Structure 1
Amino acid sequence: MTLPTAVSPSAQPSGPPPPGDEAWWKSAVVYQIYPRSFADSDGDGVGDLRGILGRLDHLHDLGVDVLWLSPVYPSPQDDNGYDVADYQDIEPVFGTLADFDELLAAVHARGMKLVMDLVVNHTSDEHPWFAASRGDGPGGPKRDWYVWRPARDGMEPGTPGAEPNNWGSAFSGPAWTWDEASGAYYLHLFSPKQPDLNWENPEVRQAVYAMMRWWLDRGVDGFRMDVINLISKEPGLPDGPVTGGAPYAGGLAACMGGPRLEEFLQEMHREVFADRPQRTLTVGEMPGVTVDQARRHTDPGRRQLDMVFQFEHMGLDQDGDKYTPKPLRLTDLKASLGRWQSGLDQVGWNSLYWCNHDQPRIVSRFGDATDEPSRVRSATMLATVLHLHHGTPYVYQGEELGMTNAPFTRIEDYRDVEARNHYAHAVAAGADPADVLAGLAAMSRDHARTPMQWTAGPNAGFTTGEPWIAVNPDHVRVNAEAAVADQTSVYHHYRRLIALRHDEPAVARGRFEMLLPDDERVYAFLRHDEAAGVELLVLGNFTGSAAEVPLPAGWAGAELLLGNVPDPAPAATTVTLAPWEARIHRRTVST
């Protein structure tokens, strides 16, 4: 493999942005850790906090500024920790609060910050709040902390169609479960083990805010807020529209951006963040959010959130259903990301990501993992295009190695409740099991959850025991140990991209301008930093064939900041990009 990288001195790794900057996160890079799969310190096959502690230098050397931990709270693990049973403790399989404090101190000692995952649309059904709510009955002190409703008039409770409305769960089936002991249905937009909190109750909100203050007082630097735009439900919980013969309406769609969402977010800001001496980071995961809504949520003057996660670009390769993939059209991707770049310009702020714990591996999805040169080249091209957009980039564990989808072939290979439920419901409805498995092979969340690949050795160096989910067999060539030793690896390209964001202000603050919007091969754009008189030109070939593209006037001979091919053709009036080539040029302009 020979993919030397052209790099200017300004693109070499350097330190994070200075502390105390009110908007420090604008020039930062966030790294998401899925603790269950990152590093196992005790050989039980499950990652843990001490495992993360032992790998902090990998993250520090990569250059990231912020670590985001997926949930580490006590949980029955029905949805791998997104079903929280206690908000103010640590799941024993991950460690203890003392372990957490030690990890937090070590993160801060390295000049990094730590953000917690906040899951407050719902809890586990094993949370004491739900146990009290279930046991109280109507009128009890915690009964109204969750959403309880009787069966539809005249219908037998627990029978199909007797649910209070026709909402469906994101994890298949109805969004309501009949609780015999309580004599009522409770709402769960996800698993039946994840009952929704009732945010209309001010006691619920105050309990959530007190918990958030407790973590901030402990030293954490902010929160990523899981499905936070579902917390406000429509009054009366009306039926939703049913399409395509489906038995249920989309419960998530019925709850996105409810009538009191902005009120709740502003109240949260006042109660939790407004008087903090140190600037925290708040990121709201918001399925279905529009550009206009995101602009309002991230407008600093509205005191809600710093940025949101949106999913529009993650649905472009899906044919009406998550598990029915279709080829990505590059023009669709440009139109989507370009709309968000322009829509949030000057007021809001973008989060930038390809991967997270809910998405398959990007190099298998939008790139080419069929051979080693293409895997490395396409992974570095995708990283270059993403990181040079306007916003804060997120790196998901293993993305910096170019990790790929796992070669799962049986439903028994999967661990995710969503994947297993989808398979069971689809096959029961008459779908061909082979077709259902093909959809999971392309799009399952479990592809992001296979163990981090540290070495070529047994279990990829993740654990000395039996891993909770199978290790991808390609770890023998795709692993951190090999990547760190190879200056042409995906890892070192990520290091240079992160350093470039720290060292070149135009990357964080430059205005975005899309080029070649109708080209199906090449993603091209400019970043303008008028204050510094600097412009950046970014080119990414999204194909496995060479592509010739015209350059804007004045870019002939421009400095090459970063590229992913050896001896790239010089910038001229046109340039021929090699398969999966990426490059960043820089020039100074008069101000």
Structure 2
Amino acid sequence: MTTPLTEYGTTAPSLPADDALWWRSAVIYQVYVRSFADSDGDGTGDLRGVRSRLGYLKELGVDALWFNPWYPSPLADGGYDVSDYRDIHPAFGTLEDAELLISEALALGIRTIIDVVPNHVSSEHAWFQAALAAGPGSPERERFWFHPGKGPNGDEMPTGWISNFQGDTWTRTTNPDGTPGEWYLHLFTPEQPDLNWNHPDVRAEHEDVLRFWFDRGVAGVRIDSAGLLIKDPALPEVPAEVRPGEHPTEDRDEVHDVYRAWRRIADSYEGTRVLVGEVWVPDAARFAAYLRPDEMHTAFNFDFMTRQWRADELRASIDLMLAAHAPVGAPSTWVLSNHDVTRPVTRYGRADDTGFAFARKRFGTPTDVELGTRRARAAALLTAALPGSLYLYQGDELGLPEVELPREVLEDPMHFRSGGVDPGRDGCRVPLPWRGTEPPFGFSPAGPGGAASVSPWLPQPAEWSALTVQAQEADPGSMLWLYRQALRIRKREASLGDGPMTWLPSAPAVLAFARGDDLVCVTNLSDGPVALPEHDRILLSSSPLVGGLLPRDSTAWLHRPA
């Protein structure tokens, strides 16, 4: 049964019903709560900290906030190991705090999107603990993938499937008498057992969780690892050549029934409640299938941020994604980074700037921060001009680089599962710098002596003193100013956001396209400055023009007579 609203939320905030298509052009800001703002001085970000910064987010110009999992969790994988979907992690606050945040943000015109992780739960989840206690053959175990091992003593894993986190996908249990027991499946870490989506309890539980949060005014859900839910119960090995829909754990046809049911629930609420999928499917037609009118509204476009800083690469990605979305009439999403990805300033400042791939993260990789910053500014305007919705990861609007952290502070399981070779993803999760000249840069409140009493959960570099919100608000040439201007123009100009675009003739290393009749975006990826096409004024440029020419690694938005 759905838990009743608390006394603080007896009347769920109403979403506007007159903007049913808000999601098609929305600017959505990703909040990694643990690293956004700390209200109580314990070194960990929390929901009250987010509430205290809603004015900043309103000034930035975002339409919605997407929160990474904020639920109770042992944090074995940054909160993607959920132990209770109907509460808030104590370090982040309370359910009351979440309800107030949703309501206060909506009062400022900012919607809330939460993260749902349907593929797995935490090993500390009540269901999994009950399954371990109940033993082999029990109904409790049928909600997961428990299976006897292979070999004469059952000491071999049921399959040889490889984890997305590197390493094995099965862990053996221990029986109450101390003898080795069954194995259970986890496509991620052993602390994240996979759910069996063939079981009616699993489907009913997640549908009830959707209602729980929609009842509290949430405007949508981001669906983690959306294509992994359904597994082949025969547990076959992955074939050398996988035909569409026949991978044992990925993108199986049956998964679409799940999202049709979710869409019916979302559509039963007043005001558009969106389903946003994290869908890793290379085949364009199968990707588009998730976006049919009775399934998800949008899905993340990851292809763009895997491309090198080259005009042909970026244009190919734009064409690919627009073509993939066209058959189902869904808008593309554009994103430069997130909590899993090397930040753009660092990625674009490296010789191999496709540092998105986890395997390409290495300690000590040389980075030209000045080059990366210039390109990240250009990329910000390029993506903001493309048709569809825009996702912005916290701190990218400040031009924060990836932080190479000391090994002893790293927490990401990807670091440890790589044998310590890769730094993992903590470098893009370092707490934000708000003000001041020394860490924690206003992330945590000052104590009696003026300094924070506890250090942030991940250390901030001293050189971030030049990148604080306070410092950048006073600098018209800063990344923050660029983002604020871009989002204001994007909201003001009817040609931007969702709608058509048309490529314009340009030099081989230049991307130029029109949005509507009066707006042109030009990105110069060549080795030298280029002339701008005909226009009557410049709306915004990522770099100052030199002699009327657009410098290399720069983007300009132009207005031309209609």
- TM, length-normalised to structure 2: 0.86
Please tell me whether residue 581 in structure 1 is matched to residue 561 in structure 2.
no
Could you tell me whether the CA contact under 8 Å between 1:296 and 1:348 is conserved in 2?
Answer: no
Structure 1 Cα separation of the partners of residues 545 and 525 of structure 2: 19
Equivalent of residue 484 in structure 1, options 457, 473, 482: 473
What is the deviation of 1:42? 1.4
Structure 2 Cα separation of the partners of residues 314 and 567 of structure 1: 26
Alignment partner, residue 415 of structure 1: 411
Structure 2 Cα separation of the partners of residues 460 and 518 of structure 1: 44
What is the deviation of 1:260? 0.5
What is the deviation of 1:515? 5.0
What is the deviation of 1:518? 8.5
The residue matched to 2:139 in structure 1 has which SS?
coil
In the TM superposition, 1:502-513 aligns within 5 A as 502-513=491-502
Alignment partner, residue 268 of structure 2: 275
Q: Assess, with a 3 A threshold, how the Cα gap between structure 1 residues 253 and 535 changes in structure 2: closer, same or farther.
A: farther
Equivalent of residue 449 in structure 1, options 421, 424, 429: 429
Could you tell me whether the CA contact under 8 Å between 2:144 and 2:196 is conserved in 1?
Answer: yes
Alignment partner, residue 80 of structure 2: 82
What is the deviation of 1:261? 1.2
Q: Assess, with a 3 A threshold, how the Cα gap between structure 1 residues 312 and 377 changes in structure 2: closer, same or farther.
A: closer
Alignment partner, residue 537 of structure 1: 520
Alignment partner, residue 388 of structure 2: 391
Structure 1 Cα separation of the partners of residues 137 and 17 of structure 2: 49
Structure 2 Cα separation of the partners of residues 557 and 95 of structure 1: 51
Could you tell me whether the CA contact under 8 Å between 1:148 and 1:186 is conserved in 2?
Answer: yes
The residue matched to 1:462 in structure 2 has which SS?
coil
Equivalent of residue 225 in structure 2, options 211, 224, 227: 227
Structure 2 Cα separation of the partners of residues 472 and 156 of structure 1: 52
What is the deviation of 1:345? 2.9
Q: Assess, with a 3 A threshold, how the Cα gap between structure 1 residues 477 and 19 changes in structure 2: closer, same or farther.
A: farther
Q: Assess, with a 3 A threshold, how the Cα gap between structure 1 residues 371 and 122 changes in structure 2: closer, same or farther.
A: closer
What is the deviation of 1:557? 3.5
In the TM superposition, 1:317-396 aligns within 5 A as 329-345=310-326, 347-367=329-349, 374=371, 376-396=373-393
The residue matched to 2:441 in structure 1 has which SS?
helix
Structure 1 portions without partners, runs of 5+: 1-16, 244-251, 318-327, 425-435, 571-575
Alignment partner, residue 402 of structure 1: 399
Q: Assess, with a 3 A threshold, how the Cα gap between structure 1 residues 164 and 372 changes in structure 2: closer, same or farther.
A: closer
Structure 2 Cα separation of the partners of residues 365 and 481 of structure 1: 25
Q: How many percent of aligned residue pairs carry the same amino acid?
A: 35
The residue matched to 1:406 in structure 2 has which SS?
coil
Could you tell me whether the CA contact under 8 Å between 2:227 and 2:251 is conserved in 1?
Answer: yes
The residue matched to 1:101 in structure 2 has which SS?
helix
Could you tell me whether the CA contact under 8 Å between 2:226 and 2:277 is conserved in 1?
Answer: yes
Alignment partner, residue 357 of structure 2: none
Equivalent of residue 559 in structure 1, options 515, 537, 544: 537
Structure 2 Cα separation of the partners of residues 139 and 471 of structure 1: 50
In the TM superposition, 1:296-315 aligns within 5 A as 296-300=289-293, 303-315=294-306
In the TM superposition, 1:85-234 aligns within 5 A as 85-152=83-150, 154-158=151-155, 162-181=156-175, 183-234=181-232
Structure 2 portions without partners, runs of 5+: 1-14, 351-365, 445-451
Q: Assess, with a 3 A threshold, how the Cα gap between structure 1 residues 30 and 291 changes in structure 2: closer, same or farther.
A: same
The Cα offsets for residues 481-524 of structure 1, whole Å up to 9 and x where unpaired, read as 111122221112111221222111211233123457983x4333
Structure 2 Cα separation of the partners of residues 156 and 336 of structure 1: 50
The residue matched to 2:295 in structure 1 has which SS?
coil
Would you tell me which structure has more helix in proportion to its own residues? 1
The Cα offsets for residues 538-575 of structure 1, whole Å up to 9 and x where unpaired, read as 112346x42436x6xxx4244322112335655xxxxx
Could you tell me whether the CA contact under 8 Å between 2:346 and 2:369 is conserved in 1?
Answer: no
What is the deviation of 1:367? 4.6
What is the deviation of 1:341? 1.7
The Cα offsets for residues 160-215 of structure 1, whole Å up to 9 and x where unpaired, read as xx111110112221101111228211110000000011111122101110011011
Structure 1 Cα separation of the partners of residues 25 and 166 of structure 2: 39
The Cα offsets for residues 93-138 of structure 1, whole Å up to 9 and x where unpaired, read as 1111111122122111211111111111100000001112222234
Alignment partner, residue 439 of structure 2: 458
Alignment partner, residue 432 of structure 1: none
Equivalent of residue 485 in structure 2, options 471, 489, 496: 496
Task: Report the residue type matching 2:225 in the other structure.
Answer: V
The Cα offsets for residues 343-370 of structure 1, whole Å up to 9 and x where unpaired, read as 2136122111001001011111125896
Could you tell me whether the CA contact under 8 Å between 1:288 and 1:312 is conserved in 2?
Answer: no
What is the deviation of 1:267? 1.6
Could you tell me whether the CA contact under 8 Å between 1:381 and 1:564 is conserved in 2?
Answer: yes
Could you tell me whether the CA contact under 8 Å between 1:171 and 1:190 is conserved in 2?
Answer: yes
Task: Report the residue type matching 2:269 in the other structure.
Answer: R
Equivalent of residue 459 in structure 2, options 470, 473, 491: 470
What is the deviation of 1:472? 2.7
Q: Assess, with a 3 A threshold, how the Cα gap between structure 1 residues 393 and 499 changes in structure 2: closer, same or farther.
A: same
Structure 2 Cα separation of the partners of residues 361 and 155 of structure 1: 49
The Cα offsets for residues 395-453 of structure 1, whole Å up to 9 and x where unpaired, read as 10001011101133x532422111221134xxxxxxxxxxx35xx4xxx4222101111
Q: Which shifted more, 286-295 or 204-213?
A: 286-295
What is the deviation of 1:471? 0.9
What is the deviation of 1:139? 4.1
Alignment partner, residue 55 of structure 2: 57
Q: Assess, with a 3 A threshold, how the Cα gap between structure 1 residues 130 and 517 changes in structure 2: closer, same or farther.
A: farther
What is the deviation of 1:21? 1.4
Q: Assess, with a 3 A threshold, how the Cα gap between structure 1 residues 341 and 535 changes in structure 2: closer, same or farther.
A: farther
What is the deviation of 1:57? 1.0
Task: Report the residue type matching 1:587 in the other structure.
Answer: R
Structure 1 Cα separation of the partners of residues 280 and 289 of structure 2: 15
Q: Assess, with a 3 A threshold, how the Cα gap between structure 1 residues 371 and 172 changes in structure 2: closer, same or farther.
A: closer
Could you tell me whether the CA contact under 8 Å between 2:374 and 2:553 is conserved in 1?
Answer: yes
Task: Report the residue type matching 2:419 in the other structure.
Answer: Y
Could you tell me whether the CA contact under 8 Å between 2:221 and 2:275 is conserved in 1?
Answer: yes
Structure 1 Cα separation of the partners of residues 57 and 473 of structure 2: 12
Could you tell me whether the CA contact under 8 Å between 1:536 and 1:586 is conserved in 2?
Answer: yes
What is the deviation of 1:340? 0.4
What is the deviation of 1:253? 7.0
Structure 2 Cα separation of the partners of residues 264 and 172 of structure 1: 27
